[in-house]
Copies of this chain bind each other. A is one copy, B any other.
Amino acid sequence: MATKLTATVSSIVIFIISFGLSIFLYSKTPDAFPWIAPWVIQLVRASAMLIALFLLFERLFKMELHTKIILGMLLGAAAGILFKNNIMELKPVGTAFIRLIQMIVVPLVFASLLAGTASLGDIGKMKRIGTKTLLYYLASTAFAITVGLVLANIFHPGSGMSPEVQAKLMENYQGVAGQKLSAAQQTETSPVQTFLNIIPQNPFEALTGASMLQIIFFSIVTGIALTLIPKEKAQPVIAFFDGLFEAMIKIVVQVIKIAPYGVFALIADAVGNFGLEILASLLKYTLVTTAGLLLVIFLYPFVQSIFSGLNPG
């Protein structure tokens, strides 16, 4: 009891110190103290900021993960407004978070689809479910796309940004966008070719190139094939990918715990770089998205009634 109290008190004390220190140091430029190397200042203030966040999120209050993430966004925006370019040095925390998520995408999708399809078992049943699901999926997708397009054309999320911010965004991302554009132009493909390209010519190339549609196709086809061969032959393959899938999920669960810090760093960097305006655009985008989601949820029963006989389940 006493030790717990001591722990809480020391948490509060360390929080106040690290929070104050980071606020103080971030309000100066790194070369404000000529007798200390700038990178030392940057390291100290970044560490202090992250320690303060850690104590706030994990020690001082009991919060749900989503509360932490939203708080991380708000605090990140505040830090971006207050410290401008200075706070951009925290971006690597956000980048690390994003890279960790990216890392597990390919093995997660591959292992989950392969093991998932393979353990569905009865192919005949799957066909029946599959056809119904596909039709239902297509109908609801068409409906959702309609709602999305209508809302996007009424509210124009992304507009209302000042020309300066637009120019700055252009400058920052035109390299990336230009590359993608030129790559897309070079491989100008017909719609039929686009469909054919879903069939990988080499699944290992698809895995290495992270060609998601090809990976999805190959893993589902292999998963189905595994349901068609003798169980004792298929079992080791399924067990392997099932275990890999569980491991990847476990990594996701762990990585998602650092999401509040990653989101804090990313928002702070974006606001520090582009100002609050970019958040306003993001907010508008978020509101329209939410409105769309609500519309889809409320109108779905009507769509469902049209496909009443097609409900899977």
- A residues in contact (CB < 8 Å) with B: 92, 95-96, 99-100, 102-103, 105-107, 192-193, 195-196, 199-205, 207-210, 218, 221-222, 225-226, 228-230, 233-240, 242-244, 246-248, 250-251, 254
Contact = CB atoms under 8 A, between A and B. Distances in A.
B251 A225 contact: yes
A236 to B, nearest CB: 4
Contacts of A226: 243, 247
Given A204-B207, A240-B240, A248 B233 contact: no
B250 A244 contact: no
A208 B229 CA distance: 26
B107 A203 contact: yes
9 contacts: A92-B192, A103-B199, A106-B202, A202-B208, A207-B208, A208-B208, A221-B251, A225-B251, A237-B244
B247 A229 contact: yes
Nearest to A99: B199
A196 B262 CA distance: 13
Number of copies: 3
Contacts of A230: 246
Nearest to A218: B103
A193 B92 CA distance: 8
Contacts of A200: 99, 103
A220 B254 CA distance: 14
A120 to B, nearest CB: 14
A201 B100 CA distance: 7
A81 to B, nearest CB: 24
A209 B210 CA distance: 14
B225 A95 contact: no
Contacts of A250: 225, 228-229
Contacts of A107: 203-204
A234 B236 CA distance: 12
A196 B96 contact: yes
Contacts of A205: 208-210
B218 A246 contact: no
Given A202-B210, A222-B244, A226-B243, 20 more contacts: A92-B193, A92-B195, A99-B200, A99-B201, A103-B202, A103-B218, A103-B221, A107-B203, A107-B204, A202-B207, A205-B209, A208-B208, A221-B251, A225-B251, A226-B247, A234-B247, A236-B243, A237-B243, A237-B247, A240-B240
A289 to B, nearest CB: 26
Nearest to A195: B92
B247 A225 contact: yes
Nearest to A199: B99
